[in-house]
Amino acid sequence: MKILISGCAGFIGSHLCEYLLKASHTIVGIDNYITGKEENMSSLFVSKNFKFIQGDVADRDFSIDDKFDYVLHLAALASPVFYYKYPINSLTVGALGTQNMLEVARKSDAEFLLTSTSEVYGDPEIHPQPEKYWGNVNPIGIRSVYDESKRYSEAITMAYKRYYGLKTHIVRIFNTYGPRMRKDDGRVIPEFIMSALNDKPIPVFGDGKQTRSFCYIDDMVKGISAMMDSDAPGPINLGNPEEFTIIELAEKIKDIIESRSEIVFKPLPEDDPKRRKPIIEKAMKILNWKPRYSLEKGLKETIEWLKNH
Ligand code: UDP
């Protein structure tokens, strides 16, 4: 297939491009490098089946003449640190960016896949989270720029499906980690690993009893690819249902690295979700997918990579 992917220089985007090139697809990737990096694509540039466009899919006059079989919209500012820093870009990439990508799909009569997020559930009152849960999002809080942009992108994707009959798919990605996350990404795993590697204090926000469930990148890429191959519109949760407190995570990372770092407590950011864990029955049944990596194994791979880069 000829595939268009936004966010190809990002953490998940670059891994997904690699995977799809190996499966003999032709890819046109777009990224504006707001958080993505050119070096993430070094293995992609050697392929004659990969073409890169540097640009912002959220531009009002964005258009692309080429025709595609499949359009994937991954571009987003997924780290709280970056969506606090670029709140407007965060909203526009979900709003204008999603519509621009949907238009490319509509003009090509292509299939469309949106990578949404567990953040659409906000600070969930239901635990663990099934896809049918509508969420508990503060529409004006500091996280709203990400949460609402993704909720809007889901809404407009469904509108294109209903109004134009476009074949669309939505996955909701839970916390994902692995090689190619930026050192300054700010999300908990790279932040704790970098602190522990340098014997610097590990910053735990709040009392560290809040939970997250962490999925390794290789598992996530396979889940997205399985969704592409399916007829399911979704939304379908993709994530690893093994749940950890943030304190447990800090201790695990400290142990693996054998770091002398101490754990220090910092104020909890506004609206930080207290618990998060996906129900993945749908993904298991419809996509025949489930994550294989334990947290321990995935952390070791990520630590090695961060050490060497
Ligand atoms: N967190 C932390 N220290 C950090 C970064 C994050 O304790 O340096 C906590 C954060 O408050 C949240 C969890 O780790 O409860 C996961 O945060 P992250 O930014 O990775 O992503 P989120 O799941 O909140 O989108």
Identify the CATH number of the domain in which residue 221 sits.
Answer: 3.40.50.720
Report yes or no on 275 lying in a domain: no
94, amino acid identity = G
Q: Is residue 187 part of a domain?
A: no
In a domain, 53, yes or no: yes
- Structural domains of the chain, count: 1
Distance of CA 116 to the CA centre of its chain: 7
Distance CA 147, CA 145 (A): 6
Point out the ligand 1 atom lying closest to the alpha carbon of residue 208.
7
Q: Which domain holds residue 83?
A: 2-177+214-240
Domain contains 91: yes
Residue tagged active-site, from 70, 121, 146, 216: 146
Residues of the chain with pLDDT under 50: none
Strand partners, 211: 245
Specify the pLDDT at position 5: 98
Is residue 283 situated within a structural domain? no
Between the CA of 97 and the centroid of ligand 1 the distance, in Å, is 26
Q: What per-residue confidence (pLDDT) applies to 115?
A: 98
Question: Residue 30: what are its φ and ψ, rounded to 5°?
Answer: -125, 140
User: Ligand 1 mean position to 112 CA, how many Å?
Assistant: 30
Q: What are phi and psi of 221, to 5 degrees?
A: -60, -40
The pLDDT value recorded for residue 279 is 98
Flag whether 59 is in a domain.
yes
Q: Tell me if 108 is assigned to some domain.
A: yes
Residue 201 lies inside a defined structural domain of this protein: no
Q: What is the Cα–Cα distance from 2 to 257, expressed in whole angstroms? A: 42
Alpha carbons 213 and 293: distance in angstroms, whole number:
12
* Per-residue confidence (pLDDT) for residue 229, from 0 to 100: 97
Tell me how far apart the alpha carbons of residues 152 and 150 are, in angstroms, rounded to a whole number: 5
Residue of 171, 143, 151, 220 lying closest to 73 (CA atoms): 171
| Model pTM score | 0.98
pLDDT at residue 169 in the model:
98
Per-residue pLDDT, 216: 98
